[in-house]
Amino acid sequence: MKNMHYTRDNMAELLRGHDINPTHQRIEIAHALFSRQEHLSADQVMAIVNTRHSETSKATVYNTLKLFLEKRLIRELIVDPSKVFYDPNTTPHHHIYEIDSGKMSDIDADQVKITGLPPLPDNMVTEGIDLIVRIRNKN
Amino acid sequence: MKNMHYTRDNMAELLRGHDINPTHQRIEIAHALFSRQEHLSADQVMAIVNTRHSETSKATVYNTLKLFLEKRLIRELIVDPSKVFYDPNTTPHHHIYEIDSGKMSDIDADQVKITGLPPLPDNMVTEGIDLIVRIRNKN
DNA sequence: TCCGGAAGTTAGACAAAGTCTAGATTATTG
DNA sequence: CAATAATCTAGACTTTGTCTAACTTCCGGA
Ligand SMILES: [Mn+2]
Ligand SMILES: [Mn+2]
Ligand SMILES: [Zn+2]
Ligand SMILES: [Zn+2]
């Protein structure tokens, strides 16, 4: 993904690679997420996509984000009690969350070691491990 | 906390110990959480407290949970995108979340080691580290 | 090219969690 | 008891997200 140019054409490729039919709206939404490489809420995605002129409805934004999740193109972050954030980075990584500002940054998973987690029941499998470091300003 | 009897009187003590004036409603809400030692949503707390007869309003449930949080009597768990859960266990511990059932269980923090977290900016301090293992049924 | 179904998008109604306000109740103090 | 502070309340309101039914676009076969 280094030096990737997030053109609309490349977005279409990316979508096809995840079995997603690349429509205009889907390309715009993917572009909003991937060109920024930030953690965005549905509302923010909607605002970005409709900056120039209204072209994507709320229903489509939510439908599309859910589709991207299912197809594992993006990842969901549950860190703020009031809204979900979407993360174009699906490589294993963790997060630092600044409580006061809401700013979120990545921690590379390579650096971090987590040991001593208990074994799971036989019929269960790990979907993911979310590690969130909540930080705030010293007083 | 071993062998603790979660009587109303003991709840009043507990509240006073955290600088919370023990009113009837606050005692009932604390009792709901601590006698069960489970992870409950605001809705669930409300239902429990009003089982016999209606005695606590929605506003008071939310206000009281927020007060308990501020006074560090309980802990907030952000794990389900649609609602917050409240945890009477404030000792450092982690969580296993069964995505499909919504069931949540504790992992003792003693067993788990997390190393390699990056240093924080000088003026920042860690509020808490949330580690959530999301699991689901094998297919 | 025309047709018909499938896939995708949409506006707007709806649901659920949580917040807010202004008034009522309760507790405390003098 | 009266005044004041603390707490609680109903219900309106906000926000995030879901749902539905109609509309549009796409696409393969006649
Ligand atoms: Mn456009
Ligand atoms: Mn009672
Ligand atoms: Zn991330
Ligand atoms: Zn817990």
> What average pLDDT score do residues A16-37 get?
98
Question: For B35-44, what is each residue's pLDDT tens digit?
Answer: 999 999 999 9
What are the Cα distances from residue A84, in Å, to A53, B100, B135?
25, 18, 19
Q: Within this chain, do residues A12 and A75 fall inside the same structural domain, yes or no?
A: yes
In this structure, the answer to whether residues B12 and B80 fall within a common structural domain is yes
Longest dimension (CA), chain A: 52
Nearest CA-CA partner of B28 in B67, B82, B64, B77: B64
% chain A with pLDDT above 90: 90
Per-residue pLDDT at A3: 67
Sequence-distant (6+) residues with CB within 8 A of A52 are none
Q: Quote the CA–CA distance of A109 and A50 in Å, as a whole number.
A: 34
Q: pTM for the full model? A: 0.93
What is the pLDDT at residue B17? 97
Same domain for B41 and B96? Answer: no
Q: Average pLDDT for residues B98-120, to the nearest whole number? A: 94
Residue B57 lies in a domain: yes
Q: Write the DSSP string, A101-137.
A: T--EEEEETTT-EEE-PPPPPTTEEEEEEEEEEEEEE
Report residue B124 as tokens. Answer: 């920042």
- Is residue A1 included in any domain, yes or no? no
Structure tokens at A46: 């909607």
Domain that holds residue B97: 91-135
Q: A34 and A82: one domain?
A: yes
A4 pLDDT band, cuts 50/70/90, is confident
Question: What value does the mean pLDDT take over residues B88-116?
Answer: 95
Q: Is residue B1 part of a domain?
A: no
Amino acid B100: pLDDT: 87
Question: Does the pLDDT at position B90 exceed 70?
Answer: yes
pLDDT at position A2 over 80: no
Does residue A80 belong to the interface with chain B, where contact is any CB pair within 8 Å?
yes
Residues 6+ apart with CB under 8 A from A83: A41, A42, A43
**Is residue B32, in this structure, part of any structural domain at all?**
yes
pLDDT tens for A104-125 read: 999 999 999 999 999 999 999 9
Asked whether the beta carbons of residue B107 and residue A118 sit closer than 8 angstroms, the reply is yes
Same domain, A29 and A61: yes
Mean pLDDT, all residues of chain A: 95
Domain match, B73 and B21 both: yes
On whether residue A113 sits in a domain, the answer given is yes
Residue B3 lies in a domain: no
Q: Quick one: tokens of A51?
A: 């900056």
Cα–Cα dist B29/B60, whole Å:
10
Q: Which residues of B77-92 are buried (b: 16+ CB within 10 A; e: fewer)?
A: bbbbeeebbbbbeeee
Q: What is the pLDDT of residue B1?
A: 61
Mean pLDDT of A72-78: 97
Say yes or no: A26 and A45 in one domain: yes
**B98 and B67 inside one domain:** no
Model confidence band, residue B2 (pLDDT cutoffs 50, 70, 90): low
Q: Which of B104, B39, B91 is nearest to B65 (CA)?
A: B39
Task: Looking at the structure, tell me whether residues A15 and A52 fall in a common domain.
Answer: yes
Quick check: B113 and A115 in contact, CB under 8 A? yes
**Domain check: are B15 and B82 in the same one?**
yes
Beta-carbon separation of B124 and A135 below 8 A: yes
Question: Over 80: is that where the pLDDT of B80 sits?
Answer: yes
**Residue B123 within a domain:** yes
- pLDDT of B137 > 70? The answer is yes
- Domain final residue pick, B46, B67, B86: B86
Could B117 and A116 be called an inter-chain contact, meaning their C-beta atoms sit closer than 8 Å?
Answer: no
Count Cβ–Cβ pairs < 8 Å, chain A vs chain B: 104
Asked, for residue B39, whether it belongs to a domain, the answer is yes
- Count how many domains chain A has: 2
Q: Flag whether residue B131 sits within 8 Å of chain A, measured between CB atoms.
A: yes
Read off the tokens for B109.
Answer: 């923090």
Q: Is the per-residue pLDDT at A101 higher than 80?
A: yes
Q: Are residues B108 and B55 in the same domain?
A: no
Q: What is the pLDDT of residues B34-70, one digit of tens each?
A: 999 999 999 999 999 999 999 999 999 999 999 999 9
Q: The domain spanning residue A72 has which CATH number?
A: 1.10.10.10
**Across the interface, do A130 and B129 touch by the CB < 8 Å criterion?**
no
Protein footprint of strand C, defined by Cβ closer than 7 Å to any strand atom: A 21, 23-26, 54-60, 63-64, 81-82; B 23-24, 41-43, 58-59, 62, 66, 82-84
Distance A97 CA to D16 C1' (A): 21
Does residue A34 sit in the same domain as residue A61?
yes
CA of B107 to the centre of ligand 3 (A): 24
Can you list the alpha helix ranges (DSSP code H) found in A1-139?
Answer: 8-17, 24-36, 42-49, 58-70
Residues of A in contact with B111 (CB under 8 A): 116-118
Average pLDDT over residues B101-106: 93
* A78: chain B residues, CB-CB within 8 Å: 78-81
Q: Ligand 4 centre and the CA of B106: distance in Å?
A: 5
pLDDT, mean over chain B: 95
A67: nt with nearest C1' to CA: C8
Question: What is the average pLDDT across B12-24?
Answer: 98
